[in-house]
Amino acid sequence: FLEPAVEPPAGAAPSAALEAVRSAAALPAALRLAIARGHLSLAFQPIRRCGDGSLVSVEALLRWEDPDRGPVPPDTFIPVAEETGLIIQIGAWVLRRACETAVRAGGEWRIAVNISPVQFQQPDLAGMVANILRETGLPPGRLALELTEQIPLLRFPRAREAVRRLQAMGVQVALDDFGSGFSNIACLREFRFDLVKLDRSILALPPAQRGTVLTALLAVSQSFGLKVVVEGVETTEDWGMLQALGADYAQGYLLGRPAADLALAVPDAFPGQPLAPCSSPAGAFP
């Protein structure tokens, strides 16, 4: 039966657990304020070709810097944005800002933008994307959208039609975080993705399993005709293994950390500017 609630003595400091609950309950209101006050921003991280390390695309990652809380991680606030529906408005802003940034930098690389499954609840996601492409002047061939299966995509009947329309426009569509959560073979079959991104939890497996699991997932993805990005490449050993196993593309701290300034995060994103030699002790670029 229910334990009697233990009341803290009057005047006692609230427990850490209670504080955490209060802080979580305050997140929706704090997120609304963050939007109104312009506390959301983007960080940029390169995705590179396994052969020569050349730039393929740049992922835009949402950041929330709260004056009281400090940085709030996306894994904390994206679910809040999804539950409140704020992700519709935030997602449109991210897309517009990302496209503007890619147009300003120029070049041939794609800008990769994460799309929440909840965004498919809006009546015309493909039309919204088309409008933003037209207004910012980004060619559709320079946009990639990354879809995660946090909420199984197949439950959203509009998703398949929207993905088909986006691809018909020339937008690339990637399945993100494959190998974690709900990712399944049915999803690869039902959606004709262009690209699959293997979750970074795979490179974090113990060495005995890492190579085997990676080989299997590469084979599955490539059997569907999909190019593969491996996420979470942090060491030269990881990078060497991907080359040996035939992965197409890679993303991770070794190849470039996310940063707000595109020119710092991805020095080779600007055409005509040679890649600055990177000789940091961490060996940021192999």
Contacts with ligand C2E by CB under 6 A lie at: 45, 61-62, 73-75, 78, 91, 94, 114-116, 146, 148, 176-177, 200, 231-234, 251-253, 258
Contacts of 251 (CB under 8 A, 6+ apart): 45, 46, 47, 48, 59, 197, 229, 230, 231, 232, 233
Binding piece for Mg ion, criterion CB under 5 A, among 46-54, 139-147, 155-163, 271-279: 139-147
CB-based burial label for 220 (10 Å; 0-12, 13-18, 19+): middle
Q: For residue 92, give both structure tokens.
A: 């449109």
CB nearer to ligand C2E: pick between 188 and 265: 265
Q: What x-and-dash track marks residues 179-218 binding Mg ion by CB under 5 A?
A: ------------------x---------------------
Contact status: 176 vs Mg ion (CB under 5 A) = yes
CB of 90 to ligand C2E, least distance (A): 7
CA distance 160 to 286: 39
Instruction: State the amino acid at position 143 in one-letter form.
Output: L
Contact status: 149 vs Mg ion (CB under 5 A) = no
If one counts every other C-beta atom within 10 angstroms of the C-beta of residue 171, the result is 24
Q: What x-and-dash track marks residues 107-136 binding Mg ion by CB under 5 A?
A: -------x----------------------
Contacts of 22 (CB under 8 A, 6+ apart): 14
CA distance 206 to 202: 9
248 binds, among ligand C2E, Mg ion, none (CB under 5 to 8 A by kind): none
- Residue ranges that bind Mg ion, judged by CB under 5 A: 114, 146, 176-177, 197
